[in-house]
């Protein structure tokens, strides 16, 4: 009886073809089969690196129907390398039924790590990374979307969403309606590609940012939203806000100090502005006295 095959989960570039790992290339070259979400999308990458292996198709509409045949190949000793259109397989992409079935059948599953859009956006966002929640694509309809956002409004973890170009403005509009206007937001679009953009804004200002620049409504999007400030009493949070604001006022303008303090602490813009004016007045009296 032939030894069991191996199911490889191979991460591929999210845009820039140079981001693929040496290990990923070697795995794809040696696999008996490459399972692609869309062969037309994957062929440019495979041709670029001289990878010529038989292809299978695995996408959200056929992954249940083709499960038995793929499992049969693995049980017969053949290896399959699963890739998605971009990034890490199974992260908002097909493949979960196959992985679960392979594990249940005692077939070895080996991840080949690499690019992932949500991690790429989070790492460069400037928002807290120690605790986060990936929410995938939000609902298409506004009513369901608003309901989801309302359930997440008080979440203390950083929130990460994927969104398409034709719905990103509506999503940010609903976000502005539900979340505090001063909540920090990062709009990451076209990551690793020619027109890569990471726009740092707030929930209240994000819709206007897209309205003022048509290019900001093009491409593939990852939206990173700061969680509600956590820990400590209101008094403790206020003291921390005052400390940060005081340090920033010593180095930059009042407007910049207020904006940065809001982004860092998640405190309300009006509250921070009032405190900035108070601190400026106190400092002026101290200097004058």
| pLDDT exceeds 50 at position 147 | yes
Closest to 2 in 3D by CA, of 23, 28, 32: 32
pLDDT tens column, 43-91: 999 999 999 999 999 998 998 999 999 999 999 999 999 999 999 999 9
1 inside domain: no
39 inside domain: yes
19 class by beta-carbon count within 10 Å (0-12 exposed, 13-18 middle, 19+ buried): middle
Would you tell me the crossing angle of helices 234-249 and 269-288 to the nearest 10 degrees? Answer: 60
144 inside domain: yes
Of the listed ranges 96-105, 192-201, 228-237, the one predicted with least confidence: 228-237
Q: How far apart (Å, rounded) are the C-alpha atoms in residues 135 and 158?
A: 10
143 inside domain: yes
| pLDDT exceeds 70 at position 231 | no
Task: Provide the domain count of the chain.
Answer: 3
| pLDDT exceeds 70 at position 152 | yes
Judgement on whether residues 136 and 156 belong to the same structural domain of the protein: yes
* pLDDT (0 to 100) of residue 232: 46
At 160, list the tokens: 């990460």
pTM exceeds 0.85, yes or no: no
pLDDT tens column, 171-184: 999 999 999 999 99
In this prediction, what percent of the chain has a pLDDT beyond 70? 94
| pLDDT exceeds 60 at position 289 | no
Judgement on whether residues 69 and 169 belong to the same structural domain of the protein: no
Most confident of 2-11, 196-205, 267-276: 196-205
Question: Cβ neighbours of residue 214 under 8 Å, at least 6 residues apart?
Answer: none
At 85, list the tokens: 């259109």
Q: Output the domain CATH number for residue 14.
A: 3.40.1010.10
At 60, list the tokens: 């959200």
Residue-number span of the structural domain to which 191 is assigned: 118-225
126 inside domain: yes
Coarse DSSP helix, strand, coil percentages of the chain, rounded to the nearest 5 percent: 45, 15, 40
């Amino acid at each position: 009886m032939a030894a069991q095959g191996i199911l490889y989960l191979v991460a591929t570039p999210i845009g820039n073809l140079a981001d693929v790992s040496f290990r990923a290339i070697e795995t794809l070259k040696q696999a008996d089969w490459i399972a692609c979400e869309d062969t037309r999308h994957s062929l440019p990458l495979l041709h670029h690196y001289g990878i010529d292996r038989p292809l299978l198709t695995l996408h959200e509409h056929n992954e249940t129907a083709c499960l038995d045949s793929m499992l049969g190949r693995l049980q017969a000793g053949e290896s399959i390398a699963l890739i998605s259109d971009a990034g890490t397989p199974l992260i908002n992409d097909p493949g979960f039924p196959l992985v679960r079935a392979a594990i249940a059948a005692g077939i070895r599953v080996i991840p080949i790590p690499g690019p992932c859009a949500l991690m790429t956006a989070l790492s460069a966002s400037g928002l807290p990374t120690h605790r986060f929640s990936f929410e995938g694509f939000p609902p298409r309809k506004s009513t369901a979307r608003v309901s989801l956002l309302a359930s997440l409004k008080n979440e203390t973890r950083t929130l990460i969403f994927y969104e398409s170009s034709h719905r990103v403005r509506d999503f940010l509009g609903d976000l502005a309606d539900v979340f505090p206007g001063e909540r920090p937001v990062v709009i990451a679009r076209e990551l690793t590609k020619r027109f890569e953009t990471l726009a740092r804004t707030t929930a209240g200002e994000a819709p206007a940012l897209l309205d003022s620049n048509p290019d900001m409504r093009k491409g593939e999007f990852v939206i990173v939203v700061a969680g509600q400030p956590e820990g400590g009493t209101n008094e403790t949070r206020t003291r921390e806000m005052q400390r940060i604001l005081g340090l920033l006022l010593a180095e930059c303008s009042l407007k910049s100090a207020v904006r940065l303090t809001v982004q860092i602490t998640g405190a309300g813009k009006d509250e921070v502005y009032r405190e900035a004016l108070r601190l400026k007045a106190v400092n002026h009296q101290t200097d004058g006295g």
